[in-house]
A and B are shown apart, each in its own frame.
Chain A
Amino acid sequence: MSELLALEFMRNAFLAGMLLSTVLAVVSFFVVLRRFSFIGVGVAHSAFGGVALGVLLGVSPVLSALGFSIIVANAIGWISRRKEISTDTAIGIFFALAMALGVIFIGMSGRYNVDLFGYLFGNILAITRQELVIVCVLGILVLAGIVLFFKEFLFIAFDQEVARVNGVPVTLLDHFFLTLLAVAVVICIKMVGIVLVSALLVIPGAAASQVARSYGAMIGVSIAVAVISTTGGLILSYYADLASGAVIVTLAALLFFIAFGLGRLQKTPR
């Protein structure tokens, strides 16, 4: 362990991993309660279009992905409020469109040598000091946003219509949450990659929902699952020389199955 932490890139990776997994775990709590899993998948994949746009325009791919994902997340929210199209249809369309645009942008830029694999599957070890600062600041902002409106988000998740009748600005807060979700997704792309980040938006909350019965406990378990799988995944991937993102997600899924088993034990009368 101490040899691991002696390496600066490893220290950065651990720091970023722990903060980011906490952010994802808290977002995941609401993603699971609101059944937003597929929205998470859609937003994560749309980030690919954003990365490619950044490559084409010669701006920071993280910034362009941020803008792109926020727009797509809010567009999904806007369309799914209309009666004409169901949410999953809207996501299916946007997600494919964003990926297609990504391929077109990369083709137009003529630069096939960009580290696309790093964006698609993540490379937390390549995180720079500057990126670490940006990611941490944004991560803390996302957490603060959720803490500030936690009570209202919980009400909306439980009973959207009654929340609206009681004067909670449901539509506005929905878009705010989707924006937070998009930011959380983009800042975690370096860690686990576009393809796998959506897993960390679902698994921690899903695992926690199997064993926790109060919201405090559910958030706690969700954070624990995310932090354990991130740090554990980093250590394992370092020694086994495997892709960090894939090991992190596999570990998280394993924890989910354990929680699922524990949940079933709880429910069986003795």
Chain B
Amino acid sequence: MKPESQVKETHYVDLEDIWVAYDHKWVLQSVYFSCGAGEIVGIVGPNGGGKSTLLKVILGLVRPDRGTVRLFGEKPGKRGLQEVGYLPQISQAERFFPVSALDVVLMGLYARIGFFRRPDQKDRETAMEVLNRVGMADHAGRPFGALSGGQQQRVHIARALAPHPRLLVLDEPATGVDSVAQEDFYRLLAELRDAEGLSVLMVSHDIGVITAHADRIACLNVEIHYHGEAQACMIPENIARVFGRDLKVMVHDSRCATCFRRHSHE
């Protein structure tokens, strides 16, 4: 993790006093949030707490009713969206779509390829490289619909990584991915952060996993209840404010054998 001062100088994401309402109900209320260069920020909170909405506000997919959004110091949509890799929340595996895993990863490069041009050999090589990184190179030619949910998720992640974004925005990246592949994936994120200064914003309802892998945490339930060092988020008082009093937390880290077993039964 970078020192705090350096992080502040180069904010990739800056939200100030964001308010969003759906159906006359506030889903985000006065949210302040930031993410600097080269840090992994986890966003945790209960379902319906506005986690996905927060990501969409950052990406410019949802316009806030109030407040200012800055992405790489500018309004979202103006510039820089090509420097963002986005993994939306996937509810179920795609059953049929006539593309291969490689085709899906190539989509991540379309913006760079530009209009009226087709992907060339070099683009294909780039895509294969990323597929290899997520352990899916052997499945490159297979129809996307024939892959398992976890494999599809890894291909989606490869697509988000393909254009070498500066910021990766992940909505529930662990969906359907088994625990070993999850550990590999979080290790890959840390590698990219250290080597290329990649920033990662990830949302999860699994507070244990997030605290083990994020540099900083934001606890969100309509309002931000905590935004800071990952470990401090585990203070019972913070957890109770966000999730309610009844939640039990299993602290997860890579050495925790019981966690692995628990996850593998899911």
Stretch at the interface among A97-105, A155-163, A174-182, A247-255: A155-163
Flag whether B150 is at the interface (Cβ < 8 A).
Answer: no
Q: Which of B167-199 contact A (CB under 8 A)?
A: 169
Q: Which of B130-164 contact A (CB under 8 A)?
A: 143, 145-146, 159-160, 163
User: Which of A149, A164, A214 contacts B143, CB < 8 Å?
Assistant: A214
CB closest chain-A residue, reference B90? A159
Q: Which of B226-263 contact A (CB under 8 A)?
A: none
Stretch at the interface among A3-11, A52-60, A165-173: A165-173
A155→B110 contact, CB < 8 A: yes
User: Which of A148, A154, A209 contacts B96, CB < 8 Å?
Assistant: A209
A215→B88 contact, CB < 8 A: no
Type the 1/0 row for A211-227, where 1 means its CB is closer than 8 Å to any CB of B.
Answer: 01111011000000000
B81→A167 contact, CB < 8 A: yes
Flag whether B98 is at the interface (Cβ < 8 A).
Answer: yes
CB closest chain-A residue, reference B119? A151
The minimal Cβ–Cβ distance linking B96 to chain A, given in whole angstroms, is 6
Q: Which of B80-125 contact A (CB under 8 A)?
A: 81-82, 84, 86-88, 96-100, 103-104, 107-108, 110-111, 113, 115-116, 118-119
Given known A165-B84, A166-B82, contact A215–B98 (CB-CB < 8 A): yes
Task: Return chain A residues, CB-CB under 8 Å to B82.
Answer: 166-167
A166→B143 contact, CB < 8 A: no
A158→B107 contact, CB < 8 A: yes
Task: Return chain B residues, CB-CB under 8 Å to A151.
Answer: 110, 113, 118-119
The CA-CA distance from A161 to B111 in the complex, in Å, is: 14
B61→A161 contact, CB < 8 A: yes
CB closest chain-B residue, reference A148? B116
Number of B residues whose C-beta is below 8 Å from A? 32
Given known A167-B81, A167-B82, contact A152–B110 (CB-CB < 8 A): yes
Flag whether A140 is at the interface (Cβ < 8 A).
Answer: no
User: Which of B61, B98, B115 contacts A213, CB < 8 Å?
Assistant: B98
Task: Return chain A residues, CB-CB under 8 Å to B116.
Answer: 148
CB closest chain-B residue, reference A208? B98
Flag whether A33 is at the interface (Cβ < 8 A).
Answer: yes
Task: Return chain B residues, CB-CB under 8 Å to A218.
Answer: 98
A214→B88 contact, CB < 8 A: no
B159→A162 contact, CB < 8 A: yes
A149→B115 contact, CB < 8 A: yes
Flag whether B28 is at the interface (Cβ < 8 A).
Answer: no
CB closest chain-A residue, reference B23? A83
The CA-CA distance from A157 to B111 in the complex, in Å, is: 16
Task: Return chain B residues, CB-CB under 8 Å to A214.
Answer: 98-100, 143
Flag whether B59 is at the interface (Cβ < 8 A).
Answer: yes
The minimal Cβ–Cβ distance linking A251 to chain B, given in whole angstroms, is 24
The CA-CA distance from A108 to B30 in the complex, in Å, is: 58
B103→A215 contact, CB < 8 A: yes
Task: Return chain B residues, CB-CB under 8 Å to A33.
Answer: 97-98
The minimal Cβ–Cβ distance linking B142 to chain A, given in whole angstroms, is 9
The minimal Cβ–Cβ distance linking A36 to chain B, given in whole angstroms, is 15
Task: Return chain B residues, CB-CB under 8 Å to A167.
Answer: 81-82, 111
A165→B59 contact, CB < 8 A: yes
A166→B98 contact, CB < 8 A: no
Task: Return chain B residues, CB-CB under 8 Å to A154.
Answer: 99, 107
The CA-CA distance from A214 to B100 in the complex, in Å, is: 7
Can you report 6 residue pairs joining A to B where beta carbons are below 8 Å apart? A149-B115, A154-B99, A162-B107, A162-B159, A165-B59, A213-B98
**Shortest 3 CB-CB distances between A and B: which pairs?**
A165-B86, A215-B98, A218-B98
Q: Can you name 10 extra interface pairs (CB under 8 A) apart from A158-B97, A161-B61?
A: A151-B118, A154-B99, A154-B107, A159-B88, A161-B88, A162-B88, A166-B82, A166-B108, A209-B96, A214-B99
